[in-house]
Amino acid sequence: MGLTIYKNIGAIVGADPNPLPVKAGKEMNELPVVYDAWMAVAGDRIMEIGSMATFTEMEIGGACHVVDLDGEWMFPSFCDSHTHIVYAGQRDGEFIDKIHGLSYEEIAARGGGILNSADLLHSTDEDELYRQAMVRVNEIIGKGTGAVEIKSGYGLTTEDELKMLRVIRRIKRNAPIEIKSTFLGAHAVGREYVGRQSEYVDLVCREMIPEVGAQKLADYVDVFCDTGFFTVEETDRILEAAHKWGLKPKIHANELAVSGGVQVGVKHGAVSVDHLERTGAEEIEALRNTSTIPTMLPGASFFLGMPYGNARGMIEAGLPLALASDYNPGSSPSGDMRFVAALGCIKMRLTPEQSFNAVTINGAAAMELSDEVGTITPGKIANFFTTLPQPSIAYPLYAYTSPLITHVWLAGEKIY
Ligand code: NIG
Ligand code: FE
């Protein structure tokens, strides 16, 4: 097992010997930083962190690889708990429609949107779908992401949903990044079932979920519980059916309207409820004293011109908050988690510490991975990136388009 020592690290951000599994309320203000540090990595795991003042090369001996970071900063890899990065082609035509004034709902109602992606996915074979998805996986790795959740939901037939989930499984096996897989058959009503929504929900419950469950193709189940998509009652049925297969929910809620999605998610013990652009005091109340992590996707608000979720309200109420990219072709064609964290500061008025916690440890928690990733902690997977020396924690989110990342390591291996 190779030992690597990184020395002369300007700062290790998120260096936490005893990290909480998730940070809530005031805990989100704490982002530990060790300045002028060294770190030892053994194989794929972080072994030890120390201050350069206590560093002696003699102690380490010769049987290790030493990397001199010469003042560069180190950050834990981003943990992106909500994406749709397995898709075919793109939807840049709808980008033009939006410029001309059509809303996301209007595009969907015309048979565009998610159904457009489903048509493209149907006519794309599995190898090509994998190839296109891997381009995005490599893109987000280069931008600092080290753990990602990927959803199905552009199949909308049993066969195509399984095809997507097999592609996610293949990515899991081949890419150096941590992956969680989510079945999102109820993303929209498949074309053949338009006008017969309840029959489509039956198909999801009686055919898709048992197949996905039996083949162990997903970690979680998701439903787009929102106006124009699936109702609370339908969501309830789907989550019930998924529970029998051990699929915990992570659901799309309150993006387009106050949908009741938060409450139904909480009722079923959801790991997270995501989007939350339209939430008020009742949703905050529903989330109190639960283990469900409110997750916001400011990239979708940015791209679709929607309101931003009440992030500060959630934190002030003592709740945790995760931020994720929602990388998808329709509402957030970007998986840049630094930009997501910057939007957290610029548009949601989070402090840089809160925003970094939201895109690292709390994102990890929203994938049930906080024992493994999300902080720089001895024992956790050595997933981190280095940057040019920074004047402050705030700077990388303030100067949000300046090139930043110098190198990326995943599971102790230098990737870029
Ligand atoms: O999270 N809101 C639902 N699903 C995606 C968008 C999917 C699409 O338009 O392709 C989202 O925003
Ligand atoms: Fe989404």
> Is the pLDDT reported for residue 389 higher than 80?
yes
> Is the pLDDT reported for residue 62 higher than 80?
no
Q: What is the pLDDT of residue 59?
A: 58
- Non-local (6+) Cβ contacts of 193 within 8 A are 199, 200, 203
> Is the pLDDT reported for residue 204 higher than 70?
yes
Cβ distance 68 to 8 under 8 Å? yes
Q: Which two tokens stand for residue 42?
A: 């053994």
Q: Give 108's pLDDT tier (boundaries 50, 70, 90).
A: confident
| 172 backbone dihedrals φ, ψ, rounded to 5° | -55, -45
How many whole angstroms separate alpha carbon 219 and alpha carbon 146?
A: 18
Q: What is the pLDDT of residue 109?
A: 83
Q: Within 13 A of 265's CA, how many CA atoms are on the CB side?
A: 35
* Pocket lining: 329 vs ligand 1, CB cutoff 6 Å: yes
Q: What is the pLDDT of residue 58?
A: 55
How many whole angstroms separate alpha carbon 191 and alpha carbon 316?
A: 43
* Pocket lining: 300 vs ligand 1, CB cutoff 6 Å: yes
pTM of the model: 0.97
**H or E, element range at 83:** strand 78-83
* Pocket lining: 117 vs ligand 1, CB cutoff 6 Å: yes
Q: Which two tokens stand for residue 200?
A: 């489509």
> Is the pLDDT reported for residue 23 higher than 90?
yes
pLDDT in tens, 323-353: 999 999 999 999 999 999 999 999 999 999 9
pLDDT in tens, 256-284: 999 899 999 999 999 999 999 999 999 99
Beta strands in 14-58 (DSSP E): 33-42, 45-51
* Pocket lining: 87 vs ligand 1, CB cutoff 6 Å: no
**CA 114 to ligand 1: nearest atom:** 10
> Is the pLDDT reported for residue 179 higher than 80?
yes
* Pocket lining: 368 vs ligand 1, CB cutoff 6 Å: no
Pocket test for ligand 1, best of 98, 331, 340 (most atoms within 8 A of CB): 331
How many whole angstroms separate alpha carbon 44 and alpha carbon 47?
A: 9
How many whole angstroms separate alpha carbon 358 and alpha carbon 76?
A: 12
Q: What is the pLDDT of residue 61?
A: 59
Distance 154 CA to ligand 1 centre (A): 10
